[in-house]
Amino acid sequence: MANRELVTLQVGHYSNFVGTHWWNIQESSFVYSPSQASGPKEICHDVLYREGENRHREVTYTPRLVAFDLKGSLKTLKQEGLLYETGADGDDIKWMGDVTMHKEVSEPLNPYLKSLEQVEIEDLSISKDISDEEKYGDHDLGTEKKKQVCQAGKGDERDTLSETKPVNLEDHINVWSDFLGTSFHPKSVHVVQEYRHKDEFSPFDLFNSANEVFSNYESTCEWEDRIHYFTEECDNLQGFHIMMDTHDGCGGLGAGILRYLEDEFPGKGIFTFCFTSADSPDSTAKERATRIINSALAYGSVTTHSSLFVPVSLASSVWQKLGKPIEIPYLNYKPMAYHTSAILASTLDTLSLPYRLETNAINLRDITHSFNSQGRKVATLNTSFPLGLYKDESLIDFFSQYGEMFPWQPVTPHVKNEKKPFIQSVVMRGVTNAMVQSKTDPSKLPDYLARLTSKEEVLRNYLSHMSQGNLFATNCLESAIKTKVPYPQIFNENVTSDGLICSTPRPEGKRVDSVPMLTSLQSTPEAGDVIRQLYESAAKMNIKKHHRYMSAGLEEDDYQETLDNLKALVTCYKTDAEAL
């Protein structure tokens, strides 16, 4: 059976924060031997990962990824990675005359990266002990053994760090590569050379700043080549995951890449997540206006060139003013990128499981086609992280206590979950059938939850009651999401090490290693409210007074066309009653 491959693109610094947590989460769930498996294999990692081979004929296992960021954003990470030894250091100099070598001072490694470096050194010595039969003989045996050598050390290291004194990484993390535990392919990282990260004199903060990037022919050919490198080795490419920032110039960069994907890969699913970080610049009227205009231009383009897209932020509002971060039960997180991106990555990892399953997986295109009917290309996202299930509490009792309310919080801003969705895809993980049955008298339980014996039945009956005839799909997995080092410890003291809720505090120094959770991807009338509020905020902007946009090539007619498209998109979400 083909692997139904996906290629992931991360465009922007905050999107790379989310992506880094996402890849770390996935690698922490790798199982390296049958003895480590706690149940049946539920997730097919080959959907997002690729198997390769380096110069030493050692098997590598890396994400099928192209990550875009600005010059100066990688810090300790080499653009070409470490696995393949590309030899691009420039030490082999043929010039016979005098040579002056200039090298930048290397950034010091933080405690987490130092621990990974030590593990990689040990892995190199282990790999030398692999027999020739394992390397070059039976392919399946050799592949599995070498995958273990390549990746297992990192998983073991996370376990070791989790059991020792907690590592406070918050003081050491400035960029996403500071906590990257995944090895990338040399084709994965594309650096935008025209702009520098956090450059005060020439910031990459306007949607149309991307025009300068696209005008560089050599650079454009380079990132196109990176995308084709991963797509051409796929046997059954089902589409693309796109994670992009929309509050700065990366919105324009992402929009241009989406246009290219739509033209180059017709018929493939393009599932886009548009991020606005909860700590985006918001101290001046100019910064707020820039965020609104960038978002309007980005959203207008994304809706045109994506199969489906989801606005995502932990800020409660992102248009006229950046709202406070939403409150999530049992979490104590800060509005810093390291924390907020972890929550969003956990949500993304869970909602994407239906098309990453080992068996009975659905095609990405089928999901996006189901959601974007009648022009509804905008979806909303909700999460219950952690699930909030008490220790010794049954799943039936958990759902019955919510009555007519949903048990999740929206991570799409300006959504209140007050309207019934047209269609939704709900994924629950980390719950077993042993946690289902209630000790409560069945006569005191809601009829739709009484006498059920499986987690699938409980979730389906609950959603059937709440959806009132609207469409929904469910998936239930036993494997909880892993939250080991370098995942931030953002859980309050009442969350146990396995993610359940307890009335007594968790022992001091004990980490939360795994968490059950629930996500809901929805096409809902409230998605129209999100776009309507953006349209109303953007329509108040007199673009002629924003001279930098005009200088960067934005025409007044183009801006007005964007507003008209947003206004038309809002009408797609009106219900029959509202249309009368």
| Whether residue 497 has pLDDT greater than 80 | yes
Please report the pLDDT score of residue 101 as a whole number. 61
Ramachandran angles phi, psi of 385, nearest 5°: -135, 110
> Sorting pLDDT into bands at 50, 70 and 90, what band is 95?
low
Q: What is the mean pLDDT of residues 217-236?
A: 95
Q: What is the mean pLDDT of residues 336-352?
A: 97
Q: How many CB atoms are located within 10 Å of the residue 135 CB?
A: 16
Please report the pLDDT score of residue 33 as a whole number. 61
3-state secondary structure of 272: strand
Higher-scoring residue by pLDDT: 133, 393: 393
Q: Please, what sign has the CA dihedral across residues 543, 544, 545, 546? A: positive
What's the longest Cα–Cα distance across the chain? Answer: 92
- Pure H helices in 81-202: 111-127, 132-136, 139-163
3-state secondary structure of 380: strand
Give the whole-number percent of the chain exceeding pLDDT 90.
67
| pLDDT tens-place string over residues 401-450 | 987 889 999 999 999 998 899 999 999 999 999 999 888 888 888 889 98
| pLDDT tens-place string over residues 63-76 | 999 999 999 888 77
Identify whether the C-beta of residue 344 lies closer than 8 Å to the C-beta of residue 481. Answer: no
In eight-state DSSP terms, residue 459 is H
> How far apart are alpha carbons 520 and 310 in whole angstroms?
12
> Sorting pLDDT into bands at 50, 70 and 90, what band is 170?
confident
Report the interhelical angle of 250-264 vs 285-305 (nearest 10°): 0
Please enumerate, as own/partner, the contacts of 280-289 that have beta carbons within 8 Å and a separation of 24 or more. 280/247, 280/315, 280/318, 280/322, 282/321, 282/322, 288/320, 288/321, 288/322, 289/541, 289/546
3-state secondary structure of 194: strand
Please report the pLDDT score of residue 40 as a whole number. 76
Please report the pLDDT score of residue 320 as a whole number. 83
> How far apart are alpha carbons 455 and 440 in whole angstroms?
17
Ramachandran angles phi, psi of 482, nearest 5°: -85, 135
> Sorting pLDDT into bands at 50, 70 and 90, what band is 342?
very high
CA of residue 309 relative to chain centroid, distance: 13
> How far apart are alpha carbons 314 and 280 in whole angstroms?
11
CA of residue 408 relative to chain centroid, distance: 18
Beta-strand (E) ranges in 177-245? Answer: 189-196, 239-245
> How far apart are alpha carbons 444 and 570 in whole angstroms?
43
| Whether residue 39 has pLDDT greater than 90 | no
How far CA 125 is from CA of 309, 313, 451, 576, in Å, comes to 45, 44, 57, 67
| pLDDT tens-place string over residues 40-53 | 789 999 999 999 88
| Whether residue 267 has pLDDT greater than 80 | yes
Among the residue ranges 104-118, 476-490, 514-528, 531-545, the one predicted with the least confidence is 104-118
Please report the pLDDT score of residue 538 as a whole number. 96
> How far apart are alpha carbons 484 and 26 in whole angstroms?
11
Exposure class string for 356-365: b at 16+ Cβ within 10 A, else e: bbeeebbebb
Sequence letter at residue 204: F
Identify whether the C-beta of residue 271 lies closer than 8 Å to the C-beta of residue 48. Answer: no
Sheet holding 471-477, edge to edge: 409-410, 380-384, 517-523, 423-429, 471-477
| Whether residue 84 has pLDDT greater than 80 | no
Please report the pLDDT score of residue 271 as a whole number. 97
> How far apart are alpha carbons 155 and 376 in whole angstroms?
41
Q: CA nearest 193: which of 87, 102, 74, 293? A: 74
Among the residue ranges 149-153, 155-159, 316-320, 436-440, the one predicted with the least confidence is 149-153
Q: CA nearest 533: which of 492, 566, 580? A: 566
> Sorting pLDDT into bands at 50, 70 and 90, what band is 58?
confident
Reading the block at residue 242, the tokens are 């796109």
Please report the pLDDT score of residue 150 as a whole number. 45
* Residue 451 CB-half CA count within 13 A: 3
> How far apart are alpha carbons 130 and 148 in whole angstroms?
11
Please report the pLDDT score of residue 387 as a whole number. 96
> Sorting pLDDT into bands at 50, 70 and 90, what band is 105?
low
> How far apart are alpha carbons 237 and 358 in whole angstroms?
16
Among the residue ranges 66-75, 163-172, 186-195, 524-533, the one predicted with the least confidence is 163-172
| Terminal C-alpha separation, the chain | 49
Sequence letter at residue 489: Q
Reading the block at residue 326, the tokens are 């939403």
Residue partners of 539: CB distance under 8 A and separation at least 6: 563
In eight-state DSSP terms, residue 481 is E
Q: CA nearest 382: which of 441, 324, 314? A: 314
* Residue 425 CB-half CA count within 13 A: 21
The DSSP element (H or E) to which 567 belongs, if any, is helix 556-571
Mean of per-residue pLDDT scores for the chain: 86
Give the whole-number percent of the chain exceeding pLDDT 70.
84
> Sorting pLDDT into bands at 50, 70 and 90, what band is 574?
confident
Beta-strand (E) ranges in 411-470? Answer: 423-429
Among the residue ranges 77-86, 231-240, 274-283, 428-437, the one predicted with the least confidence is 77-86
> How far apart are alpha carbons 62 and 183 in whole angstroms?
6
> How far apart are alpha carbons 338 and 347 in whole angstroms?
15
